[in-house]
Amino acid sequence: MAVASDSITPDHADSAQLFSEAQARTGAGDADGARSLLQRAAQAGHLPALLQLGIWDLVGLAGPVDVATAVVRVRDAAVLGHLPARTLYAQLVAAGAGGVARDFAQVLSLLLEAARGGEPRAAMQLAMLIPHVPEHSTVRMALLQVAAAGGEPVARMFIERLPPCAPHLLLDWDVVRSRVVWPHERALSAAETRHEQPRIVALPRLLSPDECIYIALKGLPLLRPARIVGLDGQSAVDPIRSNDAAKLGLLEADAVVQSLDLRVAAALGHPAENGEGFALLRYQVGQQYLPHCDWIDPEHTSTRADLERWGQRVATCVVYLNDGFEGGTTGFPRLGLELRGGVGDAFAWDNVGPDGLIDPLTLHAGRPPTQGMKYLLSKWIRDRDQTGNCG
């Protein structure tokens, strides 16, 4: 891979100072001033500054969202040896971001390179990609130890759930490579019909128990009061929905999550590119989402622009991530149907009929747990490519 043409000339003392000043400006709320300093530091060869600019381009901080430029910046920092950049570039390749071809062999190589250098997020992802079976327990634990030593909190939580072992296990990286299994490459269980029209199916064991824990822990710090899009087209907190939600965008959805995304899309029979990003949902006792439909009403002028640009939400999937609660079903009041899955079980339904018209019978509700806390993973599929949809 070639380095981008913004000539990067190493001047490490000056670039480190510029980066430090940029961090101070960021802390003071001067994002524009910080971006200017980051650009100067990156041009002087400071790789953390180059990575930071890429992250800012991904989220649109002190400038517009520019995924293509973000990918180039992150790639260049990765090529020049910055380990966190290799980990982030791996997930951008896994997502096919900015027009990059999805290449999971390359993703795996990037993660292995980063993890060998002690990069904690890469090691954590590799641990998640190795099947949780007794013959792989030592290599999984060794990867978790690398991740935990680097400060990865999710790794520490996984270690606490496992039996004690030697404190410093050795890794054979060829063995790690040979044991990785991507979630989207695992066989899918057969769908079980719960209703014919509208089509509602159960997808048993769509995610593994470890994958459920992993994605819940990743989204947990991002949870905020859930919002809905009102008739005025604006997103707002509303009494109809009292649960919490977190959207996993390009920056949050690592290579493991991207592979899970492909798995869910395959189970639904839709192109992954047509999917909106995963959303983690948390329902505490009494919290609920009152009856609603996921399709976008073509009769409302406030949502017409969204519908014309991004297409209709043709399918929905919800995955139950835990089972330590009472109540908390997914209810379809017009069908007299109440659904609940075990850990990793999913339900999927079509929001439109075979004719493509919205189906009012898909009215559904997220019922409140009466005891404990309910975690779901939600996925919407539209009828056209969602590349660039940050909504």
Taking the C-alpha atoms of residue 68 and residue 308, their distance in angstroms, rounded to an integer, is: 24
Residue 287 lies in a domain: yes
Look up residue 278 and give its DSSP letter.
P
CA neighbor of 381 nearest in space, from 318, 319, 313: 313
Taking the C-alpha atoms of residue 82 and residue 119, their distance in angstroms, rounded to an integer, is: 10
**pLDDT digits 0-9 by tens, 73-105:** 999 999 999 999 999 999 999 999 999 999 999
Number of domains the chain contains: 1
Instruction: For residue 338, report the phi and psi dihedrals to the nearest 5 degrees.
Output: -125, 125
Residue 180 lies in a domain: no
Residue 239 lies in a domain: yes
More confident residue, 164 or 344: 344
Residue 237 lies in a domain: yes
Q: Does pLDDT of 211 surpass 50?
A: yes
**pLDDT digits 0-9 by tens, 237-268:** 888 999 999 999 999 999 999 999 999 999 99
Question: What pLDDT, on a 0 to 100 scale, did the predictor assign at position 166?
Answer: 74
DSSP collapsed to 3 states, 94-130 = HHCHHHCCCCHHHHHHHHHHHHHCCCHHHHHHHHHHC
The percent of the chain in helix, strand and coil, each rounded to the nearest 5, is 45, 20, 40
Question: What pLDDT, on a 0 to 100 scale, did the predictor assign at position 389?
Answer: 77
Region 141-153: what's the mean pLDDT?
Answer: 96
**pLDDT digits 0-9 by tens, 353-383:** 999 999 999 999 999 999 999 999 999 999 9
Residue 148 lies in a domain: no
Q: Domain of 377?
A: 192-382
Q: What percent of the chain has pLDDT over 70?
A: 95
DSSP H/E element including 304: helix 304-310
Residue 232: give its domain's CATH number.
2.60.120.620
Q: Does pLDDT of 1 surpass 50?
A: no
SS3 48: helix
Render 165-184 in DSSP notation, one character per residue: --SS----HHHHHHH---GG
Residue 40 lies in a domain: no
More confident residue, 234 or 52: 52
Region 326-335: what's the mean pLDDT?
Answer: 98
Residue 246 lies in a domain: yes
As a whole number, the mean pLDDT across the chain is 93
Question: What pLDDT, on a 0 to 100 scale, did the predictor assign at position 388?
Answer: 75
Render 251-271 in DSSP notation, one character per residue: TT--HHHHHHHHHHHHHHTS-
Question: What pLDDT, on a 0 to 100 scale, did the predictor assign at position 89?
Answer: 98
Q: Does pLDDT of 7 surpass 50?
A: no
Residue 66 lies in a domain: no
Q: Does pLDDT of 2 surpass 50?
A: no
**pLDDT digits 0-9 by tens, 270-305:** 999 999 999 999 999 999 999 999 999 998 888 888
Region 118-133: what's the mean pLDDT?
Answer: 97
Q: Does pLDDT of 114 surpass 70?
A: yes
**pLDDT digits 0-9 by tens, 24-81:** 999 999 999 999 999 999 999 999 999 999 999 999 999 999 999 999 999 999 999 9
Encode 194-203: b = buried (16+ Cβ within 10 Å), e = exposed.
bbeebbbbbb
Taking the C-alpha atoms of residue 319 and residue 257, their distance in angstroms, rounded to an integer, is: 14
More confident residue, 89 or 306: 89
Q: With bands split at pLDDT 50, 70 and 90, how would you rate the model's confidence at 232?
A: low
